[in-house]
Amino acid sequence: MMARGSAQIGDKTLLDAIVPALDKIEQLSQNGRHDLEAAFHAASEVATAAIEGTRNWPAKRAVNPTPVTASIGTLDPGIVAVAMMLTAVANDFDQISRANKPRINSKNFHFNPPSQKPIPPQP
Instruction: Please give the distance of CA 20 from its chain centroid, rounded to a whole number.
Output: 8
Helix spans in the chain (H)? 2-5, 15-30, 36-53, 77-98
Report pLDDT for 29.
81
pLDDT at 116 over 60: no
The residue ranking higher by pLDDT, 9 or 100, is: 9
The pLDDT tens digits of the residues spanning 49-73 come to: 999 999 999 888 766 656 667 888 8
Packing angle of the helix pair 77-98, 15-30 (nearest 10 deg): 40
